[in-house]
Structure 1
Amino acid sequence: MACLSTRFLALQRLCLVGLIAAPALVLGGCSPDRGRFPSLAIRPAERAFGQAKAAPADAAAAAPAPIPADATLPQRLAALEERAREADARFIALVPEATRAAARAHNAANGSETWNLAQVALARLESARSDTAIALADLDEMATEAEIAAVDHPGPDTAQVVNTRDSVAARVAQQDSVLAQLKG
């Protein structure tokens, strides 16, 4: 019985401490001295380097429209090729900035502002490359399905899918080459 009574007293003390500490923690967030904390507003450097412009206001706005489930094979191939073409255009548009940033950072110390800007520029390139690679992955899946179906029912579908996949794969290979040169 004494053990139970000791546990009960300990629990009461813990609750009492919680009742006293909770308002202090909550009121601590109402500090009038807000000048000590950095603002989360967009800084001039972020604005200057396009961080505010590059980020879509809504993530769904940046995502490509889904391909309708009832789309024909030529429609699906055209949609995936268009996605790859758009991603490649974004990649190509980012190459000059990334090239300049990489050149400036060539002898810069890791962690320096110049090095960090080059890393951000390269990350943007890799993001555009990954959008192209996503289209390639979808085409790879379609090619595999077409080749499996061709075992039982040979037809021109396999050639269409493989040709489109090869075209997008060439874009990804070109992007990989540019990235390798810049990282070199």
Structure 2
Amino acid sequence: MRFILLLSFAGLAGCTQATGRYPSLLPRPIESTSLAEPERPVPVATPDAALDKRIAEIRGALDAGTKAFTAGAQDAEARIAVSRGLPQGSEAWLQAQVAMGQLAELRRPAVTALSDLDALATQRGVDGLPPYPALDAALADADRAASSQQARIDSLEAALGGTGR
């Protein structure tokens, strides 16, 4: 029995020898490498006088168009209020319809400004130029103006649709 016990200890002793053939459990160099995107400097747009002038022109047209739209919306709202309770086809109802048609036309400067500014921003991207803060701000303003004007038209159309029924 002692012999078997000694033989088994001798067999186990062979398993404990360091041979260097087995991999270490320590982290490998590749495991400590970060896979995060490297920090890249943000490109800064250089001032562009021609672009600033064009943006100012578009903003001027947008502002003038917004004032005209606001006046037209107030007129349409007043005409819709007068036509409330009257049947469709009445004179007041027809005047409200005409005012709504004019209002859709008065929205054109906002849509044009949005389209022009979007084209300028797209062209900068195509040319590989960095974003231009003044252009981005003007584009956001034009988008807000066009969206709020469409919402106002939708609201007035809903009010006009509810008259005379």
Q: TM range, normalised to the smaller chain?
A: 0.5 to 0.7
Name 2:29's counterpart in structure 1: none
Any unmatched runs of 5+ in structure 2? 1-48, 159-165
- Pair 1:175 & 2:149 matched: yes
Q: Tell me the CA shift for residue 104 of structure 1.
A: 2.2
Measure the CA separation in 2 of the matches of 1:176 and 1:82: 20
The 3-state SS of whatever aligns with 1:111 is coil
Higher RCO (C-alpha under 8 Å, 6+ residues apart): 2
Out of 114, 117, 121, the residue aligned to residue 136 of structure 1 is 114
Render the CA deviation track for 1:92-136: whole Å, top value 9, x for unaligned.
Answer: 112221111112223333322111100111122111111221121
The 3-state SS of whatever aligns with 1:121 is helix
1:16-165 alignment, distance < 5 Å? 72-150=50-128, 154-157=129-132, 159-165=133-139
Percent identity, aligned pairs only, is: 25
Amino acid at match of 1:97: D
Amino acid at match of 1:174: S
Any unmatched runs of 5+ in structure 1? 1-70
Render the CA deviation track for 1:14-46: whole Å, top value 9, x for unaligned.
Answer: xxxxxxxxxxxxxxxxxxxxxxxxxxxxxxxxx
The 3-state SS of whatever aligns with 1:109 is coil
User: Could you tell me the TM-score, scaled by structure 2's length?
Assistant: 0.61
Answer whether contact 1:91 1:128 (CA < 8 A) is retained.
yes
- Relative to its length, the structure with more helix (as a share) is 1
Answer whether contact 1:146 1:161 (CA < 8 A) is retained.
no
Give the alignment's Cα RMSD to 1 decimal. Answer: 1.6
